[in-house]
Amino acid sequence: MRLGSLLSWCWVLRLLVLKKSPASAAGTWRRETFSHHAVLDENGKYHLRWKLENTVITFEVEVETRGYVGLGLSPTGSMAQSDMVIGGVANGRPYLKDYNTLNFEGKLNEDHHQDYRLEYGMENKTHTIIAFSRYLNSCDNKDKIITDNTVRVIWAYHPKDVQHNHPQYHSSNRGRKSLHLLNPVVDTSIPSDVLVFEIRHYNVTIPKKDTTYWCQIFKLPDLTKKHHVIRVEPIIQKGHEHLVHHILLYQCHSILNDSILSIGHECYHSNMPDDFFNCESIILAWAIGGKGFSYPSNVGLSLGTSTDPVYVMMEIHYDNVNYQEGYVDSSGLKLLYTPVLRKYDAGVIETGVWVSLYHMIPPNMPSYISQGHCTMECLEEALSQEKASGIHVFAALLHSHLAGRVLRIRHFRNNVEQPLLAHDDEFDFNFQEFRYLKEERVLQPGDSLVTECQYNTTYRSNMTWGGLSTRDEMCLSYLLYYPKIDLSRCESLPEILPQLEFIGVREIIQPIKTWPFIIKSPKKYKDLSFTEAMNKFQWSRKKGREFNSLVQRIEMNVRCAKHNEEEWHVHGIPVSAPSLNPWESKSEMEPVTCRTAWQYSDPLPVLFSLILHIVLATGI
């Protein structure tokens, strides 16, 4: 009797376990809907869809092949040290296995813990579809934890299925793409009455040099009433995806006229037209790897009123790293706008380190942190006069160059640190886009922001300077917010003299007539520019750390600019850097209770053991 009861319970539990298993036959599934989608290859053959439900992320890959498909999460974009899953449909039945390449050779190893769950799979005459899910944190040290940092997704496929438990080499059917897998879901639907305006450079010949900034002024549509831009999309000439690094759109002063419209020229050049200096306030930004950006349903960029821009200047940064000739580019931006107004006007604030040679990073440093301050004094003055109740930040773009590794925006209220406003601990120079905040953040009088950039200059033998080239560095963040106020830039720059005193400079030649300026003493630096003196100094990692500590403590110059040529009163005033504790990484994900090993494998033996324990304890 007792044995019969025990067996009955065992069969019930076994049926419950089997019911939770995914359908293995290709004909027993229902295709799911997904909130996110990306095309991973240039030819449109590999589509990835995904969605997040609590702590489980579900992927679906749709690939133009009848063989196996592979998807991986990589720390660098290469095969080595990656978390991989490979699946397909063979003889009408889907299959899936969890792999890793936890070696520097990139050798594929089957994972002992199969943490990816097959949801469904099918194939037709041309395509294979496989869907699978996993926990964001599987508690397996061979799986990558999925966070809201940039994720380097690697992909591959083959015309043949996996045979003998070992996939054949995928040859050239492979690649990588950086994504933000945990981006919030945002409504990107476009109303039927939307209007379109394109701003494009036409047939710009790209010089044979690594960095070119090209500028041209354009006139916006002549509108008789107010409109709102609700979406911005990049127009990148096919084949130039690697060449166009970023695009900025500046508002110009209304004193301009149409005579300037036909002139394109290198920005920041000695012969640049004077009218270009009348365009200083950034209103739109796009960077490499980014897609189009939709404003929230209650926000739009205002056009058509007396205070809105009539003329704008578009700046495109071309990154011709291989010094190729013959590039002729016609890239730009597409603005989608509507007469149906939204509640708020959007604005953008540039924060971080003022771009200058005074921002410098020593060579051979595995970790060096620059800090750009949007000071309490600047925000206090601007917000108190413009919007004392505060502004709502809804998206941010973090911007650095090749040495950037970790970027974050720290938020302080009356000197008390708040949760991070935005961050990326796995920053990818080739993937920079506006990211929606999970929750809007209010900035109010008494607040301050610090944009922190962590750099790695291990393989550089000279100083890295703040500048425009991708081999130079920047440390910036762009904040999208509402309602719009008269504040375009809120930045800082460390004073130069304490930095020079660190390397032993005693005197510079006055008055300053050259740039970079010249050192007068001591003798070892005499007649050298300050950049040459910095490079001559014998840097060590110990000296680099000491220099980093010094720069974070010295006085800084504040940039607090309005949308026209005017500045707020605190602009240009040196202030003491606030004393900040080093940032300590804290996971913003919910705590995870890691499962025991049996939960990764067949749970039935453990269930039988539990039932036996109950039987013995209760005397059934």
In a domain, 116, yes or no: yes
25: pLDDT strictly greater than 60 = no
Categorize the per-residue pLDDT at 88 as very low, low, confident or very high, splitting at 50, 70 and 90.
very high
DSSP for 568-618, written as a single string? -TTTT-EEPPP--PPP-----SPP--PPPGGGGS--HHHHHHHHHHHHHHH
Give DSSP secondary structure letters for 305-358. Answer: STTS-SEEEEEEEEE-TT--S--EE--EEEEEEESS--SEE-EEEEEEEPSSTT
Side chain identity, residue 510 = Q
CA 560 – CA 555 distance, rounded (Å)? 16
Examine the residue annotation and report whether 399 is marked as an active-site residue of this protein: yes
Active site residue 202: no
d(CA 504, CA 143) in angstroms, rounded, equals 49
Pairing mode, strands 117-123 and 332-338: unpaired
Q: Are 254 and 278 in contact (CB under 8 A)?
A: no
Q: Specify if 390 maps to a domain.
A: no
Q: What is the pLDDT of residue 187?
A: 74
Same domain, 218 and 257: yes
Last residue of one domain, picked from the residues 311, 342, 373: 342
Q: How many CB atoms lie within 10 A of CB 52?
A: 18
Q: How confident is the model at residue 618 (pLDDT cuts 50, 70, 90)?
A: low
Per-residue pLDDT, 291: 84
Residue range 104-116: mean pLDDT, rounded:
83
Does the N-terminal peptide bond of residue 511 adopt cis geometry, omega within 30 degrees of 0? yes
Tokens encoding 202: 């036409």
Are residue 171 and residue 207 in the same domain, yes or no?
Answer: no
- What CA–CA distance (Å, rounded) separates 589 from 54? 10
201 shares its domain with 338: yes
- For residues 331 and 202, state if they share a domain: yes
DSSP state of 221: P
Min mean pLDDT across 19-28, 258-267, 276-285 is at 19-28
pLDDT of res. 9: 43
Assigned token pair, 59: 């992927």
Flag whether 138 is in a domain: yes
Interval 321-355: pLDDT, tens: 889 999 999 999 999 999 999 999 999 999 999 99
Same domain, 147 and 48: yes
CATH number at residue 125: 2.60.40.1210
Catalytic hit among 158, 246, 399, 401: 399
Structure tokens belonging to residue 132 = 């699978």
CA–CA separation, 48 and 36 (whole Å): 8
Q: Where on the phi/psi map is residue 203: left (φ > 0), alpha (ψ -120 to 50), or beta?
A: left
How many C-beta atoms lie closer than 10 Å to residue 224's C-beta? 7
Q: How many domains does the chain have?
A: 3
Residues of the chain above pLDDT 90, percent: 69
pLDDT at position 567 is 94
Angle, CA of 465, 466 and 469, to the nearest 5°: 90
- Residue with the bigger pLDDT between 16 and 511: it is 511
Catalytic position from the list 116, 120, 135, 213: 213
Of the pLDDT bands very low, low, confident and very high (cuts 50, 70, 90), residue 106 is: low
Distances (CA, A) of 555 to 272, 328, 465, 577, 603: 33, 45, 19, 6, 62
- Give the pLDDT of residue 595: 54
Is 408 contained in some domain? no
Share of the chain above pLDDT 70, in %: 89
How many angstroms separate the CA atoms of 283 and 285, rounded? 7
Confidence of residue 594 (pLDDT cuts 50, 70, 90): low
240 assigned to some structural domain? yes
Q: Where are the beta strands (DSSP E) in 148-193?
A: 151-157, 174-179
pTM here? Answer: 0.86
Instruction: Give CA separation, 360 vs 110, 135, 469, 495, 499, in Å.
Output: 46, 41, 14, 11, 9
Same domain, 171 and 195: no
* 174 and 193 belong to one structural domain: no
Are residues 96 and 140 both part of a single domain?
yes
Q: Quick one: tokens of 488?
A: 């375009």
Whether 570 is covered by a domain: the verdict is no
- 3-class secondary-structure state, position 303: strand
Average pLDDT estimate for 152-169:
87
Q: Which of 286, 316, 342 is the last residue of a domain?
A: 342
H or E segment and range at residue 489: strand 489-494
Mean local confidence (pLDDT), 286-294: 86
Report the distance separating Cα 265 and Cα 512, nearest Å: 29
Please say whether the beta carbons of 495 and 557 come within 8 A: yes
pLDDT of residue 16: 38
CATH code for the domain in which residue 206 is found: 2.60.120.310
Q: Say if residue 234 is exposed, middle or buried (CB neighbours under 10 Å; 0-12, 13-18, 19+).
A: buried
Answer yes or no: do 146 and 271 share one domain: no
- Residue 454: which residues within 8 A CB-CB, separation 6 or more? 367, 368, 369, 404, 405, 406, 407
Here the tokens at position 283 are 């209103």
Domain presence at residue 84 = yes
Which range marks the domain in which residue 539 is found? 496-554
Among 529, 554, 579, give the residue marking a domain's end: 554
What pLDDT, in 10s, does the model give residues 61-83? 999 999 999 999 999 998 888 99
Q: Are 344 and 482 in contact (CB under 8 A)?
A: yes
Distance CA 519, CA 525 (A): 6
Indicate if 49 and 114 belong to the same structural domain. yes
Query: Does one domain contain both 162 and 193?
Result: no
CB neighbour list of residue 226: distance below 8 Å, 6 or more residues apart:
302, 303, 304, 305, 308, 339, 341
How many whole angstroms separate alpha carbon 285 and alpha carbon 477?
11
Determine the Cα–Cα distance for residues 462 and 477; give it in Å rounded to an integer. Answer: 26
pLDDT confidence of residue 589: 55
Pick from 6-15, 300-309, 591-600 the range whose average pLDDT is largest: 300-309
- Per the domain annotation, does 304 fall within a domain? yes
Reported confidence tier of residue 377, pLDDT bands at 50, 70, 90: very high
Same-domain pairing of 193 and 175: no
Least confident of 95-104, 205-214, 310-319, 583-592: 583-592
